[in-house]
Structure 1
């Protein structure tokens, strides 16, 4: 029983050693009969030979030494690998931190440039809004001179008689109306242009603000990333963070995008400056043109009032002379009528004498000297009466003409007085409300 147990244990130990050595050696074959698997025969114990024992011993020692050297090699390589990987990790982390710092610097530079242009666009936008307000005020200010000019034309249309003439004043007023209409159309087109520039400037500013906001967030993320270290307690595992995202851009397109935005901002700033200079010059020119035309109209009014005043004075002087002549002619007519009336008595005396003498009888009816004298006196009286009546008729006609001239002069004086009232009292007084240059400039 003990021999079976011993044989079985030795056989199991041999199999264990053989399995551990992974068939590194084989037992030496002898002529000793090998026991079969299972129980050994009674009175027989299975044993290895001394050579097998030594072979097994040396094999175990060799395996142990080989595994010892292999373990030392692995340990040495592990220490080198650990040291190299640690250095590589530190270098990679340092490079990442340095690149993040450079990236932060680039973002800061572009963000600062964006912020500067955003501030400039904001200033330009405020300037454009103020300019649009000025243009609108200038457009509103032109309504006053337009109303004044049209009112002057309407008032002067009420002139009477021969004073209803297309004079220099009316020509200048019509020029002023046309000038104001052209300026109003120009101001409206300029307001539309400024509004369009405001829209484009606002869109560009919003685009730059969006880019600046993105860079501000990116700067925060990269700054936070740069502050991470091996001692940071808030780092986490993100296995999929290194996956390439489809919408990522390359650095050149990133820079080009911002540069395009900045270029667009520069273009809008230049366009705004050019438009502001153009509008300032336009307002100055239109204001100057309106004031010059206003001066021309006022000068024409003043000249016309002088002409009307002189004409009125001349008419009044002529009227005074006519009135004096009318009075003298009336007195002349009275004198002629009295002279004609005074000839009635001598006429009756002469006619009575001739009638009485025509009653003389027979030969006494003689054409003697008294008869001839009476006949001559009668002829003289008839001629005198004829002359006096003719002169009286002429005087009466002259008086009629003088009356017509008086009425014509008085009517013309009334026309001149009415025209002077329109031009001086109504039109020129109304033109005192003409806007100042600052109002016409939109201030």
Structure 2
């Protein structure tokens, strides 16, 4: 025979339920203590409050004590009083909105005594005062060091300026000697100036073509502003024109050859003398200035290297080279060179070879640009497709979030019904309640995870959109470069003079 079902005799008695007669309270009668867990009041059960004892050497009672605990103050309840019973764990989140403290009829407990003492210590700690005193000492020390270093720098700069003035005076004297010598030599060759210009006139066409191509290529957009092979060959063309012009002046007859070289050298040495004279004057003025001078002003942005500044080694090389060139030209003015026509033929052949190399470099550059443009267009198509895929994924995530929200509303509705509509003891923590709580937690975590994935997908879409703009900009840049190299430069280079034209000049 099966065992009878075990039941609680107080709740579910085995015998039949006997309905007790109902009774009602009379006027003025009490329903009993509001807290059913509180012990009834017993006269004479109260004792004196035990004073709290702090260890020796403890700080004042308004500062944190060694006896303070972070595990929580237990708020017990005496045998009398209408206040709510229970306890609260004190945590660093006690001041955060959303923490529910113990609430009774007359007060709301929010912070513990230990937190109150910690706040007193934070207010009384003079961090700003100590920081200000340390800052004042440090600033005075740094200021004294800075002033001393500035004085040392000023003395060092004055010494260097004085040495620079002496160097400029030395080189200026040497340039003046070279200038006087070349002026005397130039006076004897002035009659041949017209023939010299006629010999160099033919070189203006290839030089103009090369410079025009270089100028056109400066209109390329910034990513394509590179010094490629075509750019290098164009620069070589410009350099070759200058070299051929120099060779023409050397290979002319004694008067015809040396006139251009002497004028160029004289002009160069005059510019060099003028620059040195002006630089010497300015450096002398700078050397005479001091912090007490009334000619000094603010000049923002001057503490930088200018675009046309050069190194000291190059300056010394330029000075010596300029004087050497003048002396060399002056000495060669009395000698005869090769025949002018031979020089023209050889120069035209060299220019033809360089023009073919430049055209070949243009062809390679155009081919590479075309291939890059095709690759960019294919990459743009792939990027657009990926943008569409990411946008579809975002829409799918939005739909999934809407479904998760529906589940969330469902579990919240169930919990609300069970928490606030079940009466009395029926509002128990059964397995269904635990299951609903677990489901609510899982739904919240799932929603947060989907929202994070939504943000990630949106960031990826923004990156793809930026990449799309970069690709479109690069494609426009490559097409602009192709238009310059294929159309405009090729049309200009069609007028490059041939060796026969040079020979017929």
TM-score, normalised with respect to structure 1? 0.48
* Higher Rg: 1
TM-score, normalised with respect to structure 2? 0.43
